[in-house]
Amino acid sequence: MDLACDESGSEGERLVGGVTDVFAHASVRLPTEVAAECVQELRRQIRSPATEYKANHLLREKNRRTLVWLFGPSGPILGQARVHLTDKEFFVVRRIVDLLVDDADHAASLGLCQGREAWIMAVTLYREGRRGFPRDRWNGFLEAFNYLLRPRNRRGVWLSVDDFYQVVNDLRGRSAGPAEEILGLLPKARARLESVLEGLLDRPGSAPALNPIIPAIVSAVAYWGADGVPVSIVHDIQTALTAEHVGQLRQLFGGPGSGPLTGGPGRARLSTVPGLAPAGRLAGLTFVESHLDPRVQVADFLAGTARRIASDTLNRRGDPELVGLLRPYVDPASIWADEPSWSALAPAPVSRPGSCCSCG
């Protein structure tokens, strides 16, 4: 099976304090000729002189009817496309929790949060932290952790582990309840955090500790390849996916005894024991310029549009019609923990052989 993929909202490993708060990764299964016809129809309807059309063309109010056509039941991609959403703030919280819960280190290094305990703790810290701590202090805590794990920050400016724990100490005591209790566990995780940082220093780029594209690709391959069909991906050029990361993905999907990927908001995790691969098999991953492949262009339209709609919904300014259009495409294993926005974005439950989107 050939998939075309693209993303929107990537700012490298900067997940907090950047321009975007949502990362979206789209996977599209369309024949090249159908995708080309789709792009041509968009050009006919939008009539922009731009050389390459992007999602922002579709999101202009004057082109709303075209957007409704593309994602609606009369359009060409319904049932042939899927988008994995990541609330970047929650992704950082999950990585913090990885230090506190004794899950598989390999899965954690790929951004895959294993186990019910880790999921419950991450959701609790995210929800209670957002409403229990002063917003500026909470953001400062997340930014400090994000900064600490970004390898590029080790060139020049240095944030030490001591600096991070000073931020933790400044935050503690400003709230009561579960979030405060979880923060109280962080000092015991110092040795593990130092070990993670040493690994990043010794092998820069070896583990995408803060890159949400890895779990998004895992979920895409697991979904489209759930029936045992090998999945080959053509992807827009993505510098965050190094050759070593691609090798890690192939290794992850190459083992025997694989089980399904299970999910739900904030629960993109493997349902296998450590060391076993998720369902599906990654047969190949190649990169192209998006404007050279109409399938990737369609994936770009979906990813960019989904990111904007999801971000607006997260920030309580969602457009009901657009949210309704997006819902059938949303991956249930999206990394999301905000209840009000997820209740609007989540697709209706779909039963697929070998999958489970309601456990946890």
Residue 311, CB-side half-sphere exposure with 13 Å CA sphere: 16
- Say which residues have a Cβ less than 8 Å from residue 159's Cβ, sequence separation at least 6: 144, 147, 148, 153
By DSSP bridging, strand 231-236 and strand 282-288 are parallel
CATH number, span 2-87+210-345: 3.30.420
Higher-confidence position of 279 and 88: 88
Going from the C-alpha of 353 to that of each of 186, 223, 304, the distances in angstroms are 40, 11, 30
Smallest CA-to-CA distance from 326 within 48, 1, 22 is with: 22
pLDDT for position 142: 96
For residue range 239-253, list pLDDT tens digits in order. Answer: 777 777 777 777 777
Does the pLDDT of residue 206 top 60, yes or no? no
Q: So what's the pLDDT on residue 202?
A: 67
pLDDT given at position 254: 64
Model pLDDT, residue 255: 44
| The two structure tokens encoding residue 188 | 């015991």
pLDDT, one tens digit per residue, over 20-72 is: 999 999 999 999 999 999 999 999 999 888 777 788 888 899 999 999 999 99
Q: What is the pLDDT of residue 349?
A: 65
Residue 101: pLDDT band with limits 50, 70, 90: confident
pLDDT of residue 353: 27
First to last CA, the chain: 30
Name beta bridge partners: 262: 269
Listed range (70-74, 99-103, 197-201, 301-305) with the worst mean pLDDT: 99-103
Q: What is the residue whose two structure tokens read 């510098």? A: 239
User: Tokens at residue 256, please?
Assistant: 């025997």
- What's the one-letter identity of residue 336? W
Task: Extract the runs of DSSP E, i.e. beta strands, from the chain.
Answer: 2-8, 22-28, 81-87, 231-236, 261-262, 269-270, 282-288
Segment 210-220 mean pLDDT? 90
DSSP conformation class of 86 = E
pLDDT tens by residue, 269-308: 333 223 334 556 888 899 998 888 999 999 999 999 999 9
The residue type found at 248 is: Q
- H-type alpha helices, 149-212: 161-171, 178-183, 190-202
Q: How far apart are CA 273 and CA 298, in angstroms?
A: 36
What pLDDT does 288 receive? 92
3-state percent breakdown (helix, strand, coil) of the chain, nearest 5: 50, 10, 40
CA Rg, the chain, in Å?
A: 20
| Residue 51 CB burial class (10 angstroms; 0-12, 13-18, ≥19) | exposed
Q: Specify whether the CB–CB gap between 150 and 360 falls below 8 A.
A: no
**pTM (2 decimals)?**
0.87
Of 360 and 311, more confident:
311
Segments making up each domain of the chain, as ranges: 2-87+210-345, 88-202
